[in-house]
């Protein structure tokens, strides 16, 4: 298993600028920390209702809720996957991570984001200097060579945020957010950049606009308005379908996803490393977000 100790050692020798930026969140906590405490009590149909008293079993209830949400079984048709055209394998995706690729991925990470279990903010990586970038690249290359990802890169701390719609007292009206270690997100970003570059080589249909760069919602709204206006001018019908998938990201069939990646020309090692970031993940629900800031309704 790749060792993270050398990477953390470099961070301990960081510049004062890194230390100041890394402690920024701690300095802001007294001013922006939540003020109102809320917890959960059992309600009908195995839901919980908000109460201001701390009761035993709250952590168990959150674990039950997220276990039910994140372990939804899903099926995928192998016949549908077989119909996909097979693309020639892009062996460039199998190359170990490079220093320029790591630097680019770090630059894409937004500042001010919540940290994972290691409590290392993104500013440490963004302002850590060449030595930290070199050490981080070495770690990624060792992970690539061993074909394994550290468990710390997989595990997530799940916090819950109210969706601002529906009964606030029901668990299902709170969205779970997985907080991951920033180093693991950088490693995942390297994979994403490679995959996007591969798919943009004419592998995606022109009609697909979601999850693609330079295809924002403004352009799509303009296209929809143009369709409406032209159909009105031509006195013809226009049919629009809106699909809202319940918990879409939580019900993705992972085995089917790996098969689709191979169909789209992803080599074995690249697909295996993406699997490594998902297989064996152990999320932990946090109760600290049972505290909500004051806000106007």
User: Does residue 45 or residue 160 have the better pLDDT?
Assistant: 160
What is the pLDDT, as a whole number, of residue 215?
Answer: 86
Give the confidence band of 276 by pLDDT, cuts at 50, 70, 90: very high
Query: Could you give the CA distance from residue 185 to residue 181 in angstroms, rounded to a whole number?
Result: 7
**From start to end of the chain, where are the E strands?**
36-37, 39-42, 48-51, 157-162, 174-179, 284-285, 291-292
pLDDT at residue 86, as a whole number:
92
268 occurs within a structural domain: yes
Q: Is 143 inside any structural domain?
A: yes
Q: Are 116 and 4 in contact (CB under 8 A)?
A: no
Non-local (6+) Cβ contacts of 242 within 8 A are none
Can you give the pLDDT at residue 285?
Answer: 80
Whether 255 is in a domain gets the answer yes
Residue 265 lies in a domain: yes
The token pair at 98 is 């490079």
Q: Average pLDDT, whole number, for the chain?
A: 81
Q: Which two tokens stand for residue 276?
A: 């490594």
pLDDT tens digits for range 100-109: 999 999 999 9
- Between CA 26 and CA 19 the distance in angstroms is 11
Residue 135 lies in a domain: yes
For residue 113, give its domain range.
5-292
Domain presence at residue 297:
no
Please state the φ and ψ torsions of residue 4, each to the nearest 5 degrees.
Answer: -95, 0
Higher pLDDT, 247 or 143: 143
Contact (CB, 8 A) for 251 and 74: yes
Backbone angles phi, psi at 176, to 5 degrees: -85, 130
Residue 297 burial (CB count, 10 A): 4
pTM value is 0.77
Q: Where are the alpha helices (DSSP H) in 121-181?
A: 122-126, 130-146, 151-154
Distance CA 118, CA 185 (A): 13
Of 119, 108, 103, nearest to 23 by C-alpha is: 119
- pLDDT tens, 226-236? 999 999 999 99
Q: How many folded domains does the chain comprise?
A: 1
Asked if 184 and 156 touch (Cβ cutoff 8 Å), the reply is no
pLDDT-derived band at 70, boundaries 50, 70, 90: confident
């Amino acid at each position: 298993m790749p060792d993270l100790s050398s990477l953390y050692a470099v961070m301990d020798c960081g510049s004062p600028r890194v230390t100041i930026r890394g402690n920024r969140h701690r300095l802001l906590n007294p001013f922006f920390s939540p003020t109102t405490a809320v917890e959960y009590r059992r309600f009908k149909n195995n839901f919980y209702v908000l109460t201001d008293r701390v009761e035993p079993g709250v952590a168990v209830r959150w674990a039950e809720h997220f276990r039910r949400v994140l372990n939804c079984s899903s099926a995928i048709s192998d016949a549908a996957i077989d119909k996909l055209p097979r693309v020639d394998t892009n062996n460039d995706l199998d190359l170990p991570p490079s220093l320029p690729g790591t630097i680019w991925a770090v630059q894409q990470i937004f500042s001010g984001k919540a940290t994972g279990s290691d409590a290392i903010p993104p500013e440490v990586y963004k302002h850590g200097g060449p030595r930290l970038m070199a050490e981080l690249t070495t770690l990624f290359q060792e992970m690539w060579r061993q074909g394994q990802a550290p468990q710390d890169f997989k595990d997530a701390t799940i916090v819950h945020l109210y969706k601002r719609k529906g009964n606030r007292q029901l668990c299902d009206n709170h969205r779970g957010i997985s907080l991951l270690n920033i180093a693991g997100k950088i490693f995942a970003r390297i994979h994403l950049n490679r995959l996007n570059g591969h798919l943009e080589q004419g592998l995606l249909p022109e009609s697909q606009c979601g999850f693609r760069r330079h295809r924002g919602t403004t352009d799509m709204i303009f296209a929809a308005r143009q369709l409406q206006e032209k159909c009105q001018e031509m006195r013809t019908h226009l049919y629009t379908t809106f699909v809202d998938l319940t918990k879409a990201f939580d019900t993705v069939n992972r085995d089917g996803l790996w098969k689709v990646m191979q169909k789209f020309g992803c080599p074995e090692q690249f697909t295996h490393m993406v699997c490594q970031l998902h297989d064996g993940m152990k999320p932990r629900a946090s109760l600290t977000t049972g505290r909500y800031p004051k806000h106007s309704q």
